[in-house]
Structure 1
Amino acid sequence: MRQQESEFVETVVHINRVAKVVKGGKNFSFSAVVVTGDGSGRVGFGTGKAREVPAAIQKAAEQAKREMIPVPMVDGTVPHKIWGRWGATKVLLRPASPGTGVIAGGGVRAVMESAGVQDVLTKIVGSRNPFNVVRATFDALTNLMTEERVRRLRGLEPVTPEKVEETPVEAPVETATDAEAAPEASAPAVAEKPAVAEEPTAEEAEG
């Protein structure tokens, strides 16, 4: 693994020497498989072939940068369990709890670390060919589903929480001053009896 241009991390997964038989003998060349990522959710891979190893690596790295894909992550791990397939190779990716680390080997580890995945559990089933392993890993990453992608495929509206401000309504509090100022309930008025003239006594009548 090497840091390139302080932006991408390049990992040479495999280098193979290829011989082509010609009339005058054999022509040797080298093929390379390189994984490149920015460590923040984007990764790509490429293959290159040349007569010299550095030239083959450079070609593979340039192809990897051109074909980078986004990697969905949730808290530093993959969002769900998924299988990737390529040829006779199958690769399993499983979410892991924080602190687990990258439990992987070979090309799978190179892809996970270059993408910036911090915790993941992986398993390789079938052929261990480095090229097939990398391709199967990318097949799994390409098919990862995010919540937004699932809602879009189901035809649902995206989740856009809106902040609703509610004005609290306070109940009026009656104070002692208000109670004193409030008019008191008056008692029902009693009708006054009309004044009755007093009748004169017998003595007053005789006089």
Structure 2
Amino acid sequence: MSVCRPARCLFTKAAATTLPKATPQRCFQTSAIRQARKRRPHYPSIKADDLKLLNEAAEAEYPKYDTSETTLLAKRYTPSQIAAIQAAESAIDTRDVVTQGQQRTDPWMLPYEDDLAEVDPVIDKRPRLGPDDVPGKKSYRLANEVERDESIARIANETLAKMYPDGIPEGQTDAAQEQQFQDAIEAALSQATLDPRATYTSKNPAVLEALADSRHNAVQPDLPRLENRMARQTRQLSTEEEEDPRQKRLLQYLGWDKKKLRSIRVKTLVSHSVTNQTRMGKIRSLYYLTIAGNQDGLLGVGEGKSVEPDEGRKQSIMSAIRNMKPVPRYENRTIYGDLEVKVGATKVQLFSRPPGFGLRTQHLIFELARAAGLQDLAARTPRSRNKMNVIKATWEALTSQKLPDEIARARGKKMVDVRKVYYGGSVH
């Protein structure tokens, strides 16, 4: 037994400064002990002034329902629905919506701020009414010339009233306004001429309303109603040149018009000849690889091969436009983090860069980034630099990015946590 131990026990009640310091224990863990850690709050501390400004911004952007709005809601929703709306409004903190909310900016975003009162022809399934939905007698007849002229004038006036809700411009107008007004009159008369109410008439006003309703066809109940827009698209003027059937099918597939199709940036990056050995001999053809993009978040790659040069190029262009996919863009200028994709023996590495950096890449990736609408990007191709594989790998990397909200959901965290760690602390 050590003789120092009784002395040490006697001096336990003495001052701490008089005792020698104990030997520190050895720590077998890589992390520091809890006493040595710097305690970090779970939530960032907000000053009172900032909190006041945050409350003002939340109240201005997301105001509460007043009495007049509640009465309007009562006319359109049931009491149970109103109770559910009020419960959801009270459960969601508007300050969290302001600080953590994010609105999508990609071309395929949905209208989240829609009140769902109207049917969207793209997203929703269009309802169709039958003959039983028209009350009264369903008799109709062909209109004579006088009734047809009156109907065309009435329908044209209704269309002009929708185009000019504040009234037709009067007084001195310039040439552009006069031309615009003449075009509006011509469009209104064309639409009125194609309207079924100008061709048929009935004593039952419900039948006339059904003629103007796009959900019902009173003339042929078994067939869907022909839209005026479709009639205008299928009508071809004698002065127009013959339309390419491939382009016509593409416009019908995408639901676009020619003006929107011309805004797509198209460029052929790879073209070479290929040979196919058959029992009849060698058949030479030309191969084209083309990219297409709207310079606002859409990018596509297409291939085409034909014996005729123009035919192969048109095939690649139509294929590229048809294969366009959305490209997620951080702040509408660069990518989300660093990307690396391998196709064959080619590896492409893409790096996000700060504003003003520019596109410092090779010419193939430069054209892809410019067609997609990217402005700040750096790239490396450390392995094979085959043109076809470089283009395909870059397209796959840009269209298969992981968005911050997807990363947050996979980790069970909020969006603000991922952005704070990986995206420069920007949480708004």
> TM (normalized to structure 2)?
0.34
Cα distance in structure 2, aligned partners of 1:106 and 1:31: 20
Deviates more, 1:51-60 or 1:141-150: 141-150
Match of 2:289 among 33, 38, 44: 33
Amino acid of the structure 2 residue aligned with 1:40: D
Q: 1:128 aligns with which of 380, 385, 393?
A: 385
1:137 corresponds to 2:394 = yes
Q: In the aligned structure 1, how far is the partner of 2:295 from the partner of 2:408?
A: 27
My pick for the range that moved more, 107-116 or 17-26, is: 17-26
Residue 300 of structure 2 corresponds to residue 44 of structure 1: yes
Q: CA deviation at 1:67?
A: 1.7
In the alignment, structure 1 residue 84 sits paired with structure 2 residue 348 = no
Which whole-Å CA distance do the structure 2 matches of 1:24 and 1:65 have between them?
A: 35
SS in structure 2 opposite 1:125?
coil
Tell me how far 1:90 sits from its aligned partner. Answer: 0.6
**Structure 1 partner of 2:359:** 102
8 Å Cα contact 1:86-1:132 kept in structure 2: yes
- Does structure 1 residue 67 correspond to structure 2 residue 309? no
The one of the two structures with greater contact order (alpha-carbon pairs below 8 A, sep at least 6) is: 1
The alignment status of 1:154 with 2:411, answered yes or no, reads yes
CA distance in 2, matches of 1:58, 1:153: 42
User: Contact 2:328 / 2:399 at 8 angstroms: preserved in 1?
Assistant: no
> How many Å separate the matches in 2 of 1:49 and 1:155?
47
Q: Match of 2:267?
A: 11
Larger Rg: 1
Change (3 A) 1:81 1:158: closer
Cα RMSD, aligned residues only:
2.0
CA shift, 1:25, in A, is 4.1
Q: Could you tell me whether the CA contact under 8 Å between 1:85 and 1:137 is conserved in 2?
A: no
Which letter maps to 1:99?
Answer: G
- Within the candidate set 340, 345, 350, 1:93 is matched to 350
CA gap 1:24/1:67 in 2 versus in 1, 3 angstroms? closer
- After TM superposition, give the deviation of residue 137 of structure 1 in Å: 0.7
Shift of the alpha carbon at 1:91?
0.5
Identical residues among aligned pairs (%): 29
Distance 1:60 1:155 in 2: 43
Structure 2 residue ranges without an equivalent (≥5): 1-259, 417-428
Amino acid of the residue matched to residue 287 of structure 2? S
Return the letter of the residue paired with 1:92: Q
| CA displacement 1:40-78 (0-9 Å, x = unmatched) | 011010111111222112111211122212111113011
Distance 1:134 1:79 in 2: 19
Q: Which deviates the most, 33-42 or 131-140?
A: 131-140
State the one-letter code of the partner of 2:362.
G
Deviation string 1:1-49 (CA, Å, 9 cap, x unpaired) is xxx9432111111001012234554321011111111100110101111
Q: For residues 277 and 339 of structure 2, what CA distance do their matches in structure 1 show?
A: 42
- SS of residue matched to 2:296: coil
Mean alpha-carbon deviation: is it higher for 18-27 or for 111-120?
18-27
Structure holding more helix per residue? 2
- The count of residues paired between Structure 1 and Structure 2 equals 156
State whether residues 44 and 64 of structure 1, in contact with CA within 8 Å, keep that contact through their aligned partners in structure 2. Answer: yes
Question: The residue matched to 2:262 in structure 1 has which SS?
Answer: coil
Compute the displacement of 1:124 (Å): 1.1
- Residues 153-196 of structure 1 show CA distances to partners (whole Å, capped at 9, x for unaligned) of 3345667xxxxxxxxxxxxxxxxxxxxxxxxxxxxxxxxxxxxx
Give the C-alpha shift of residue 115 in structure 1: 0.3
